[in-house]
Amino acid sequence: MAAQLNHTIVWCSNQGVSSKFLADILGRPAPSRFSHFDVVELDNGVSLDFADAEGPIRPQHYAFLIGEEDFGAVFARLKARGLEYWADPMRKRPGEINRNDSGRGVYFLDPDGHILEVITRPYGSGG
């Protein structure tokens, strides 16, 4: 049996703001609309479908594997917006990136406090 992730719902307080934030930071096309979702498409056929939540948001973690060249562009956008970033998910290394598996990685928060991560090498890939 083959199984692939197709989409996941990202609960947020303002789906337009949150979906645009992610699309802008990752350099993706503007979110599209499907039913009551704002959809951010990724290159591997997976989409993040943003929906407004009723009540408090429980922060989730979303990690994105990107290329080395793309990392520079994403990191520059984070810095241009004056966003805080960390080398680790526990936020104990502020203002740093990590070099795990001989790549680069960084953590940052979206408007609702979801912990977003961009990495250039999959965990455990060596290096």
* CATH number of the domain enclosing 24: 3.10.180.10
Output the CA–CA distances (angstroms, integers) from residue 121 to 24, 38, 72, in the order listed.
22, 28, 14
Q: 């956008």: which residue's tokens?
A: 77
On whether residue 68 sits in a domain, the answer given is yes
Q: Give me Rg for the CA atoms of the chain.
A: 15
Label residue 1 by pLDDT band (50, 70, 90): confident
Q: Is the pLDDT of residue 127 over 70?
A: no
Average pLDDT over residues 41-70: 97
Mean pLDDT, the chain, as a whole number?
97
The pairing of strands 32-34 and 61-65 is unpaired
1 falls within a domain: no
52 part of a folded domain? yes
Domain membership of residue 81 as a residue range: 7-119
Amino acid found at 21: F
Q: How many domains does the chain have?
A: 1
